[in-house]
Structure 1
């Protein structure tokens, strides 16, 4: 690691530590920028990962997408190009050396704006890429991230003008990187990833409803076989597996937030069989619904 990269890492760690005095995800004065701190190794957290760029400056984390595992640590970043149901776990952290990360959410419109004002060489879009990737941050990318983070320190009057510029620079550097084509594909109308993104939105908005693969194929303007293949290439899951993850994540959230039994929640999220729901819940979270929720509530006390 060069001296410049080491200095950037150290400065980012110091700034994140300063503005996140307790564990968790912290919003900032910069829209779409979040600071993350964890002082202990965590158990897997299940959630939908929105399109975002996340760089780690201290500790390590592992994200599971379908059967794909992404591990990243200091100086590396992870990008999700579409909404994806994942589980994430901090695997290296301590009170003396907490896990520290910076997360920047973005929209397709912001990516398109960068692409429209850049002179990227033509790149082939026939090969569908996974909608999540890990890469090592180049010094110039780290420099842009540091300049964005510096705005948090008594520069609130500069944020409206400079934060969008630094954000565009970060996205530009990611697009130029070795996996940038995956990010580009998610925003290019007509690409397979772009069409799969529309299917993902439909499934997320109708997760509690049953569907046939042929219906999704019409939405994507693909054959059923082509949709199934490209959907799995993008998300590491079939459409049914994707929907199942959404349903079970929502079921867990409802069980934690409401005094409702598992059978009622199963029907709310779209299951017709409580026994099937219990089996699939146990397979995903490691325990039947009642035992899992009891354990989680006990951890919060």
Structure 2
């Protein structure tokens, strides 16, 4: 889709989102898992964890740094994250007269697995490199499905029956798009990707617990060396660094949202040494905890 010439469907989406785009912020659309994101100016780079989701940029643009690779997602493009990834993200193009506008839809892993199984899709060829983050031009069919999903917010009598059908349609359209091969990689049962995903899920739920490489590898039913290799290929980082990023991101959220100080936050996420916590926090976010939180509150 040419970003300079909005399609009919894109224009209809803009009309549906008009009530959200009058001010900047992150908004619930009324459809579970579908949010609207609006920014009136470029933002500073922010460390965060991208989860399994689809993002469609309708206006403006953003940049995502992951494993030293920059992914650009501009108006008329859809970005799919198929794996929980630590990234550095920022809105690169936005203004008050032309704000950044994006829709983000959380994807259901079990629905992806079920759909791939129903279609009897074969495993992707081994020579195709799996990418956990991909960005391509969005097609009219996907835009139309999102438009119909948004209209359900005001159709309460049929919403429960039709929403699951549209959710499945979106998965089908993604499988039929350039994103599809990477979804098939994710859904390949018994593959190293699936085993690593189990370990990542465990880390997300238990990041405050201490665990060694061998124990994580056992959870993934892999040798330590193979686990480390596949984990790095999927996430762009080592298991230890991934856990550290989860801990530091959670600590940052606790200080910013719940008013914890650095000592309380470091203990809550599993650090035994507040000095080590402050050192690693500064290395990741660029400032000591107190100064970083103050800066975020002033943005």
TM norm. shorter chain > 0.5: yes
In structure 2, the CA distance between the partners of 1:119 and 1:267, relative to structure 1 (3 Å rule), is closer
Counterpart of 1:281 in structure 2 is 281
Residue 262 of structure 2 is matched in structure 1 by 262
Distance (Å, rounded) in 2 between the aligned partners of 1:122 and 1:88: 31
The residue number in structure 1 matching 2:104 is: 103
| Distance in 2 between residues matched to 1:17 and 1:43, nearest whole Å | 25
Q: Once superposed, what is the RMSD of the aligned Cα atoms?
A: 2.3
Paired with 1:256 and 1:138, the residues of 2 have a C-alpha distance of 38
- 1:253 matched residue in structure 2: 253
- Structure-to-structure mapping, 1:91-130, within 5 angstroms: 91-118=92-119, 120=121, 123-124=124-125, 129-130=130-131
The 3 A distance-change label for structure 1 pair 151 and 41 is same
TM-fit CA distance, 1:127: 5.7
Could you tell me which residue of structure 2 aligns to residue 12 of structure 1?
13
Whether the 8 Å CA contact 1:128–1:192 is kept in 2: the answer is no
SS of 1:61's equivalent in the other structure is: strand
Flag the 1:122–1:65 CA change in 2: closer, same or farther, 3 A: closer
The Cα of 1:111 is off from its aligned counterpart by: 0.8
Q: Deviations over 1:12-55 (max 9, x none)?
A: 22322334443222112322221221112122333332211111
Alpha-carbon deviations, 1:60-94, whole Å to 9, x = none? Answer: 01223343322101111111113223332111111
> Which consecutive unaligned segments of at least 5 residues does structure 2 have?
none
Greater CA drift, 164-173 or 273-282 = 273-282
Q: What are the ranges of 5 or more consecutive residues in structure 1 without an aligned counterpart?
A: none
Decide whether aligned partners of structure 1 residues 190 and 266 sit closer, same or farther in structure 2, where only a CA change above 3 A counts.
same
Q: Cα deviation per residue 1:206-253 (whole Å; 9 max; x = unaligned)?
A: 212222111111111111111111101111111011111111111112
In the alignment, the residues of structure 1 paired with residue 141 and residue 236 of structure 2 have an alpha-carbon distance, to the nearest angstrom, of 31
Distance, in Å, in 2 between the alignment partners of 1:186 and 1:288 is 37
SS at 1:151's partner residue? Answer: helix
C-alpha change, 1:127 and 1:241, in structure 2 (3 Å) is farther
Contact 1:63 1:71 in 2 (8 A): yes
1:233 alignment partner, SS class: helix
In the alignment, which residue of structure 1 is the partner of 2:159? Answer: 159
TM-score by length of 1: 0.89
Task: Give the aligned partner of residue 140 of structure 2.
Answer: 139
Provide the secondary structure at the position in 2 that maps to 1:209: coil
How many angstroms apart in 2 are the aligned matches of 1:221 and 1:81?
Answer: 21
Equivalent position of 1:298 in the other structure: 298
Deviates more, 1:221-230 or 1:252-261: 252-261
CA distance in 2, matches of 1:40, 1:73: 15
